Chain A
Amino acid sequence: MISLRGVSLIYPNGVRALDHVTLEIAKGDFVFLVGHSGTGKSSLLRLLYREVQPSAGEITVDGIRVDKLARRRVPALRRHLGVVFQDFKLLSEKTVWENVAFAMQVTGAHTKDVMRQVPRVLDLVGLSHKSRMYPGELSGGEQQRTAIARSLVNNPKILLCDEPTGNLDPANTTEITELLLRINLKGTTIVVATHNQAVVDRMRRRVVRLEDGRIVTDEERGYYYLGLGQGQVLSG
């Protein structure tokens, strides 16, 4: 579903964010990207939704060669992807319903599809009863659920999450994690870049560890820290 081959990314200011990264993610996978700040987790995600272009290497997402994609074809790629961020990126003057519907309306969806699809995803994230509320009236977890609903409304095969629980307390974090798991069980491929040890360690999913722009480990059922489970800490 997602494939990177020898991908390097050097920003215009000279910073080398990724260095010869090769990674395969299969359909229906749930993958954590872990590592310190600035190790290239976000950069990797940004390459996938074509916010930035790689300096070298090949990137394929759902059969589309992203590294060779013409600028005018980028919107088509983004409609196959859902993207969720730490800061939710909701429009404060629109209701929950309107925020979710917005993603369909601005891509030219028919009204009858909007009317069918929005209630479906709001039900999935458990916010049907709050569809008329504004983001400012919701908890952080509810705001993130709204953002997730928006990212799913166009039926993407892949969901990319950049620190989805970074702004949330532990209870809300659990809520979001469980929601992502449910979405994954419906067949959506999910890639989560995170700092949250508890989430990674509880889920026991595939963990790809980045350090200085390189993949250092790739485990099928990993922990946040190499070889350590929840409750254990690295000394020194």
Chain B
Amino acid sequence: MDWGKVKFFLGEVLRNFTRNAGMQATAIGTVAITIVLLGAFLFVRSALSGVGSELLDQIEISAYLNADITPAQTASLRHLIEIDPRVESVQYVPKKEGLAELRDRTKGAIDTALLTENPLPDKLRIRVRDPENVPAVADDVKRLSGVDNVVYGQTVVERLLALGAVLRRVGLVVIAVFLVVAGIIISNTIRLTVFARRREIAIMQLVGATNTYIRIPFICEGLIDGLIGAALAVAVLTIAKATLWPRLVEALPFVPLGSGNIDALTMVGELVLAGAAIGVVSSWISVGRHLRT
């Protein structure tokens, strides 16, 4: 290992980095802002889809049966529904149990002791594997004889499904736009530092330095910008989550936001990687342009 070489190289990178401190600050700031936005967006998206999937998981179809149905008919009906591959489980809830459930759910607000007879019909509780199939399964079940009525959170399911689809699509576009904007700004910053060092580059070319060698310090510069920016962004996001998230959960008690415990380590990794990638790619492009001309 030739430590003299390493020392020279690191010295060059450090010198350029500190000499153009203002420009570096601009680039780092841009990366940081981009990644804060990106991180906040990813976070909100995962929180919302957490809400959505939690609600969707709770969706079940209640098929209320005709009052005069026989146990044998019920059993064959249940079998018919169970063999549908889309269906995960079918549970028979006799009206007595239904009443008990109602009592539990309303926590005594309805005094069932006042009822002279049980007004509820027997029902089948159907769970569907994929929430997307809920409306179709409900439709099919409704057509079976012996089924009086079918109930599920129709509007909720449809809206959640639509929201999920929109979020996925918008999300991709937003992320792409963020990354491109950050890339353009960093690449312009690096171009300025390239311009500031054009004499040095000309001399390097004159004495026979390879283009790869000339490029490496700039790539390192971009990488450092990207990493520092990403680190700042992660710090900001961590603080924001620690202070804002509990308040948000408090402010929206009925929305099942969950713990907000997304996979933080993976996300930090992704954000830092994104920062490094923006830095490297944009500096590669701007130095390449200079070297070709």
Which A residues contact B (CB, under 8 angstroms)? 49, 72, 74-79, 83, 89, 91, 93, 102-103, 105-108, 110-112, 114-115, 150-151, 154
Majority SS at the chain B contact face: helix
Query: Is A107's CB under 8 angstroms from B208's CB?
Result: yes
Number of A-B contacts (CB under 8 A): 58
* Contact A106 B5, beta carbon cutoff 8 Å: no
Segment touching A, from B50-58, B185-193, B196-204: B196-204
From B4, B211, B214, residue with most partner A Cβ within 10 Å: B4
Minimum Cβ distance to chain A for residue B237 (Å): 39
Q: Which residue of B lies closest to A109 (CB)?
A: B5
Provided the pairs A105-B5, A105-B8, A108-B213 are in contact, do residues A76 and B208 lie with their beta carbons within 8 angstroms?
yes
Taking the complex as formed, is B2 at the interface, i.e. its CB lies under 8 A from any CB of chain A? yes
With a cutoff of 8 Å between Cβ atoms, the chain B residues found around residue A107 in the complex are 207-209, 213
> Does B210 count as interface, using CB distance less than 8 angstroms?
yes
B207–A89 touching, CB < 8 Å: no
Docked complex Cα distance between A108 and B207 (Å): 11
* Cβ contact within 8 Å between B8 and A78: no
In the bound complex, residues from chain B placing their C-beta under 8 Å from that of A114 are 4
- A76 to chain B: which residues have CB within 8 Å? 208
Q: Is B91 an interface residue (CB 8 A)?
A: no
User: In the assembled complex, which residues on chain A have CB atoms less than 8 Å from the CB atom of B209?
Assistant: 75, 106-107
State how many angstroms separate the Cβ of A154 from the closest Cβ of chain B.
Answer: 7
In whole Å, how far is A200's beta carbon from the nearest beta carbon of chain B?
25
Q: Which among B203, B205, B208 is the interface contact of A154 at CB below 8 angstroms?
A: B208
Does chain A have a CB within 8 A of B206? yes
A75 / chain B contacts, CB cutoff of 8 Å: 205, 208-211
Pairwise interchain contact B5-A89, C-beta atoms closer than 8 A: no
Cross-chain contact B208 with A79 (CB below 8 angstroms): yes
Residues of A contacting B205 in the complex (Cβ-Cβ under 8 angstroms): 75, 78
Docked pose: A114 CA to B207 CA in angstroms: 14
The answer to whether B207 touches A154 (Cβ under 8 A) is yes
Q: Is the CB of B207 within 8 A of A103?
A: yes
Q: How far is the CB of A77 from chain B (nearest CB, A)?
A: 7
Report Cα–Cα, A49/B214, bound state, in Å: 18
Known contacts A105-B8, A110-B5, A111-B2, A79 near B207 by CB under 8 Å: yes
Given contacts A89-B199, A105-B8, A111-B4, contact A77 B207 (CB under 8 A): no
Closest to B210 in A: A75
Kindly provide the distance from the CB of B18 to the nearest chain A CB, expressed in whole angstroms. Answer: 12
How far, in whole Å, are A72 and B214 apart by their CA atoms in the complex? 13
| Interface assignment of B3: CB less than 8 Å from any CB of chain A | yes
List of A residues within 8 angstroms of B3 by Cβ: 111
8 Å CB interface, B24-54 against A: none
| B199 and A91 contact, CB distance less than 8 A | yes
**Interface pair A89/B206, CB less than 8 Å apart:** yes
Question: Are A78 and B208 closer than 8 Å at their CB atoms?
Answer: yes
Question: Is there contact, CB below 8 Å, between A91 and B203?
Answer: yes
Q: How far is the CA of A89 from the CA of B210 in the complex (A)?
A: 19
Given A89-B199, A89-B202, A105-B8, also A78-B207 (CB < 8 A): yes
CB pair B4 A78 closer than 8 Å: no
Tell me how far the C-beta of A24 lies from the nearest C-beta in chain B, rounded to whole angstroms. Answer: 25
Docked pose: A89 CA to B206 CA in angstroms = 10
Q: Once the chains are docked, how many angstroms separate the CA of A20 from the CA of B202?
A: 29
